[in-house]
Amino acid sequence: MPREIEKLEKVFSPSNKDIRSISISFHHAMLCGLNGQPSSLKMLPSFLTMPDGNEQGLYMALDFGGTNVRVLLVELHGNGRYTILARRQARLKDSNGLYDFTSPNASANELFDFIAKEVAQLAPSGKELPLGHTFSFPSNQLDVNSALLINWTKEIAVSGVEGNDVTKLLTAALQRAGLVHIRPAAIINDTVGTLLTSSYSHPDSHLGSICGTGHNTAYLERCYRAANNAMIINMESGNFNCLPLTKYDRLIDAASEKPGGQLLEKAVSGRYLGELLRLILLDILTNSRLDCLPSDLQNPYSLSAEDIALILADTTTELDNIAGWLVDHCRNRTTSIDDRLAVKKAAGLLVSRSAYFVAASYLGVIQHIDPNFDCSHHIAIDGSLFEKMPGYAQAISKAITEVHGGKAGRITTSLIKDGSGVGAAIAAAIACKKKL
Ligand code: GLC
C-alpha cells in the first residue's frame, strides 16, 4: 500500500511551479476568451456592474444550482445591509426515486413547473414583486433579464432547455401557476450573485466564486470590449482545460454526460470528488492485501464529497470512523491502521489538489486585473466545499501564500453564505433601478 500512496502523492500534488504555470495558462485563456479567440473560458457578460450598496426593497430570489432549488424572500435595506425574511429549499432529485428533475426524461415544462410550485410556497399573495433568478449554468445573456442556456453542466440533462431563453420558460411556468404578480427582473450566474452580495457591503470584492457541487468564478472586468466599460464577467472557469490530469480524471471524463468539457470542474468540484476517491480506492484497494469484497465501491457515484469530509474529519488515533466507513462501504472488517491511513491520505490529496487548482485560477484572474499585485483583492466564495470540507479554505490560502509570498497578504477570501441567492435580489434591484 505505501508504494501506491507514494505514486498517488506524486500525481496529485501540484508543485508551486505547476500552480504558477496553471495560473499563467489561465490568464492566457482569459485574454483569448475576451478577444473572441478560441478558448476554454467562455467569458460571458452579465450586463451588470457592482452595486453601490444602496439598493433597497423587497425581492424574491430563486436559486437554481443543479442539486437544489432555493427560494428566498429578501429585504435589501441599503448601506450594504439585507435580511432574509423567509426561505425554502427542495431537492431536484428525490432520494427515494419518486421524481428526478435532472435527467433527460424530465422536460423543460416539468422542471419549471416544479420550480414555480416552490416559488408559490413563499410568494406573498397579491403584491407585485420583482424576482431575481440565479441560474447556475453557462448562458448567453442577451440582457440582464434574458439568457439562453448554452449547455447543461454538472451532469444535468433535462430535455428542451439548452438553446432556450430561461426567463421565458420561468415566466410561462409562473403564469401557469397563477403567479402573474411575480415578475422576473434579472437572471444571473451564481458566481455573479456571490460577487454582488459581497460587494454590496465590501467594495474591494473583485472575484466571486463557487466551490460546491460545481466550480466557477466571476470577476469585474474594468474594460469590457471598450475602454471604461466595466462589466462582471462569468468566466465559466469550470471548463478550463490546461491542467496536469491523471488517469482517474480521464475515466471520470469519459463516462460523463459531456466528455471533454468542464475538466477543471471535474477535477475539483463536489459533484466529482467522491467519484474520484471511489476510482482511486478501487485501484489501490484491489491492488493491495485489503481486498474488497463486492461492495459499494463497484457502483459509479456511490461515494460523495460528504464521505470525503467524514474521512478527513476523523482525528481519532486509530481512525475508528474510517474503519467503520470501510465496513459500510467495503464490507471489510479487518482493516489495519495503515489501510485507514491510506484512505485518509488519498482523500486529503484529492481535496488539496482541488484547492490548489482553484487557487491557481484565482491567481490567473488577479494577474489579469492587477499585474503587480499592488492592490488588495477580496475573493468572495460560496459553496459547500469551501464551507464544510475540512482544510479546504486553508489549502487555498496556503497555495496563494506559497506562490506569492509577501504580496499574498493582500489577497483575502471569505465565505459568503447564501451569496448566490441574495445576489439575485441585488441584481433585480439594480435592474429595476435602471428601468426607472
Ligand atoms: C457549473 C456551471 C456554472 C456554475 C458552477 C457553480 O460550472 O456551469 O455556471 O457557476 O457550476 O455552480
Atom 2 of ligand 1, nearest CA residue: 137
> Is the Cβ–Cβ distance between 262 and 205 less than 8 Å?
no
Please say if the pLDDT value at position 296 is more than 80.
Answer: no
The string of pLDDT tens digits covering residues 190-240 is: 999 999 999 999 989 999 999 999 999 999 999 888 757 899 999 999 999
Confidence (pLDDT) at 17: 96
Helix (H) or strand (E) holding 306: helix 305-312
pTM of this prediction?
0.95
189 alpha carbon to ligand 1 midpoint, in Å?
A: 8
Among 243, 244, 205, 196, CA closest to 53 = 196
Q: Left if phi > 0, otherwise alpha if psi is -120 to 50, otherwise beta: which for 418?
A: left
The string of pLDDT tens digits covering residues 337-356 is: 988 999 999 999 999 999 99
Mean pLDDT of the chain: 93
* Amino acid in the structure at residue 284: I
How far apart are the C-alpha atoms of 125 and 108, rounded to whole Å?
A: 26
222 alpha carbon to ligand 1 midpoint, in Å?
A: 23
68-78 β-sheet, strand order:
81-91, 68-78, 56-64, 129-135, 182-188
Long-range (24+ apart) CB contacts under 8 A made by 367-376 are 367/23, 367/24, 367/27, 368/27, 368/30, 368/31, 368/219, 369/206, 369/219, 369/220, 369/221, 369/222, 373/404, 373/407, 373/410, 373/411, 375/204, 375/410, 376/204, 376/410, 376/411, 376/412
pLDDT band at 294 (very low <50, low <70, confident <90, very high): low
Confidence (pLDDT) at 364: 97
Closest ligand 1 atom to residue 154 Cα is: 1
Q: Helices marked H in 320-435 — which ranges?
A: 320-330, 337-369, 384-388, 392-404, 419-435
pLDDT band at 327 (very low <50, low <70, confident <90, very high): confident
Confidence (pLDDT) at 59: 98
Average pLDDT over residues 14-30: 97
Calculate the dihedral angle through the C-alpha atoms of 240, 241, 242, 246, rounding to the nearest 10 degrees: 130
Q: Is 270 in the pocket of ligand 1 (CB under 6 A)?
A: no
* Chain position carrying cell 430535455: 159
Atom 12 of ligand 1, nearest CA residue: 214
Burial of 78 (0-12, 13-18, 19+ CB in 10 A): middle
Q: Is 236 in the pocket of ligand 1 (CB under 6 A)?
A: yes
How far apart are the C-alpha atoms of 238 and 28, rounded to whole Å?
A: 15
